[in-house]
A and B are shown apart, each in its own frame.
Chain A
Amino acid sequence: MDFTLTDEQELLRATARSLLGNECPSTLVRAHWEDPSVVEPLWETHLREWVALGDGPLVDHCLFLEEAGHVLLPGPYFATSALFLPLLRALGHPSADVVAAGGLSGTVALAGLDGLWTTEPSPDPVRRFVPEADRVDQVALVLPGPAVAVLPASSLTARPMETLDSTRRLFEVEVPADVDPQPISPEALAAVLDRATVALAAEMVGTTRWLVSTSVQYSKERVQFDRPIGSFQGLQFKMVDMSLDHERAAAAVYYAAMTFDAGDPDRQRAAHVAKAAAGTAAKRAAKDAVQIHGGIGYTWESDVHLFLRRAYASEYLLGPSDWHHDRLADLLLGGSSLR
């Protein structure tokens, strides 16, 4: 097993880091709160060409998404590359190549009234937690069977859900009565969901990295009692634990991505581990980052709350940590051996 990046992967990461760092400042993220169309130029000029990562090795896609999470990238990139494209590919849908080439954006509507993304889609007449449903070209509705109907977004009624986090907009979509879905095997759907789960965990690792490194930086600069607050052991230990959680989650995400790329049988477990670890890390880092920043951390002006919001919102999307632990328990108890 080798965690070192190839030269190409190093380049991919560096490119993503500088592209997203330059093009997606927090001013843009904040402006998106009021007017989601402000990210349109970024999507049009830069991001469409990166959608293809959703088709290739998951490690590469994670490298990009980690950087996206680090800047809280808003807009249709995640939904299109991590949900929509893999689902179309699994279906063998004719539009998949167009999506991969950046020609179409899309999202996936799966969770019913209970909000859970499972391989047994509910017969509920609505789909909830549908990312970016009003700004993409197409929506893949996942229906009981399981089966999938790919429809123009404009043909659906989408109601925005008011959410904690404004950087990933979520919608409730009505399921039309007269759709004619195409069947997909539960295994294929499970693989799509697991892949998306790891992809989301990668984003969360990037978000967590910002929270940890910003807290460390701030604590070196902020002086109280004539000392930088970062010299107080109470805060040091918090930051060590935040950073350890972050490192563990990052390692778990890339391990999971490697199992996907290798078609390894451990991949389902690894996906649950990655999301649960990423959620735990993100939540802890977010809470402690606010604490470490003191009063400043509780102001609207500070960026900390943007990251806090994204951290919690991502934790609850595609299954909270507890839910992933329950699925993991299903895999562990009942005779399967550990690796």
Chain B
Amino acid sequence: MRLAWDPTDEAFREELRAFIDAHCPPQARVGKDFLGGDDEIIPDWAREWQATLFDHGWMIPGYPPELGGRNATPVQTLIYLEELARQGIPRSVHFGGYAIVGPSLLEFGNDEQKAMAPAAIRGDTVWCVGMSEPDAGSDLANLQTRAVLDGDSFIVNGQKVWTSYATVAQKCFCYVRTNPNVPKHKGISVLIIDLDTPGVDVRPLRQISGGSEFAEVFFTDVVVPASNLVGELDNGWRITMGSLAHERGGLWVEGVFGCQRAVEGLVALAERRGLAGDPAVRRRLAAAYERVATLKALGYKGFAGFAQGSSAPEHSYMKLATAELRRELFELGMDLQGPFGAVVEPAFTEERARWQQGFFVGLAANIGGGTSEIQRNTVATRVLGLPKG
């Protein structure tokens, strides 16, 4: 065990810092907490920034240059994630394309589909991921959107919901039921669906935060070429399980460093509002710091195992704990504003209602990507080995 990184890894960090200083647009530096809301869903500067990262090998550092990387080691990838997160700089505002779709196409797609990956990772093509349906959220395998093979096309009927970025995406990485006569997770396939195909209807949903980042997507007799099937027919469940694997070891980084920035902001907020001497506030802030510090240490510890090749289900711990912590920290930020916790008007609130917005994002973090209850179920059975309920 040791605290220091290797000099070569520190040099890697320095190179990254120099790159950020030279290229990162000022809008990206305000921190991810500010994204979303009523602004444009994917602003131009974000598209340009993602393309710049890709072209310089800083989009997915572990990948080769043609895929936006530089063949970095796992430790370097961790340093990369840490450095961006520490500075609050996003890589992309649409996570699905580079983190889910690109890697899945590379792992499961045919040659033609593999060739779509660089554009997905560079952000040239915006993808949405269509998993959830009204009756298939946590119980994802219950999805009912039907795709029936008819000659060399699938005919798709059904509905997706809470589909992030569907209003601005060109393509949907869509989970459909191709076989209703087998156990439910065995009859699922993945189709690439162009969202401008006739019969596709995208209807924005207004979110709790006021924005409309996600949408409902309806499919009525949508004709999809059979060649758009990703992987084998009826074997889509494997893709669900396989996606995200490439960066799993470092997925906690953004959450934890976001929480760390929140604690720094909370300390500053308490000082500005003259609460720094209040014993109850001091204890809450210290407890918040403690929780971030322990999570950060746990993330590094888990990463040690990951870097040695163990794919640890312990990472569910990190998703669960950072999502819950985020919600609490931003709520504390609202509390520290006293009566002004209730307003979002810039004239009255601290930092453009950062805490109020962040609290909403924290609520979403405990639902999207598997709810906190589902994470607990996973830890219970896969990490602790408890019998299934």
Contact = CB atoms under 8 A, between A and B. Distances in A.
A324 B293 CA distance: 14
A332 B290 contact: no
B294 A277 contact: yes
A3 B301 contact: yes
A276 to B, nearest CB: 5
Interface in B189-207: none
Interface in A247-271: 247-252, 254-255, 257-259, 261-262, 264, 269-270
Interface residues of A, number: 55
B286 A247 contact: no
Contacts of A258: 1-3
B224 to A, nearest CB: 39
Contacts of A324: 286
A252 B321 CA distance: 15
A333 B288 CA distance: 13
Contacts of A250: 301
Chain B interface residue number, banded: 35 or more
Contacts of A241: 376
Nearest to B2: A2
Contact of A326 (B5, B283, B291, B298): B283
A98 interface: no
B140 interface: no
B387 A228 contact: yes
A27 interface: no
A239 B2 contact: no
Contact of A338 (B289, B295, B385): B289
A57 to B, nearest CB: 9
A50 to B, nearest CB: 19
B282 A252 contact: no
Contacts of B287: 276, 325
Contacts of B381: 236
Contacts of A252: 290, 293-294, 297-298
Contacts of A333: 267, 270-271, 276, 282, 285
Interface string A15-41: 000000000000000000000000000
Contacts of A231: 386-389
A314 interface: no
A232 interface: yes
Contact of B263 (A249, A261, A334, A338): A338
Given A1-B4, A240-B380, A219 B289 contact: no
A247 B289 contact: no
A325 B386 contact: no
Interface in A217-237: 219-220, 227-228, 230-233, 236-237
B320 interface: yes
Contact of A251 (B3, B283, B298, B385): B298
B68 to A, nearest CB: 26
Contacts of B300: 1, 3, 251, 255
B308 interface: yes
A6 B1 CA distance: 7
A23 B385 CA distance: 29
B54 interface: no
A105 B291 CA distance: 37
A254 B2 CA distance: 10
B3 A262 contact: yes
B307 to A, nearest CB: 8
Contact of B286 (A219, A251, A329): A329
Interface string B297-325: 11011011000100000100100110000
30 contacts: A1-B2, A2-B1, A2-B304, A3-B300, A4-B304, A9-B1, A216-B385, A216-B386, A230-B387, A231-B387, A231-B388, A236-B376, A236-B380, A236-B389, A239-B386, A241-B376, A247-B317, A248-B298, A248-B321, A252-B294, A255-B300, A269-B293, A273-B289, A273-B294, A325-B282, A325-B283, A326-B279, A329-B286, A332-B267, A333-B271
Given A244-B320, A329-B286, 16 more contacts: A5-B1, A228-B387, A231-B386, A231-B387, A231-B388, A233-B380, A236-B376, A237-B376, A244-B379, A247-B301, A251-B297, A254-B301, A328-B289, A333-B282, A338-B264, A338-B267
Interface of A: 1-6, 9, 59, 216, 219-220, 227-228, 230-233, 236-237, 239-241, 243-244, 247-252, 254-255, 257-259, 261-262, 264, 269-270, 272-273, 276-277, 322, 324-326, 328-329, 332-334, 337-338
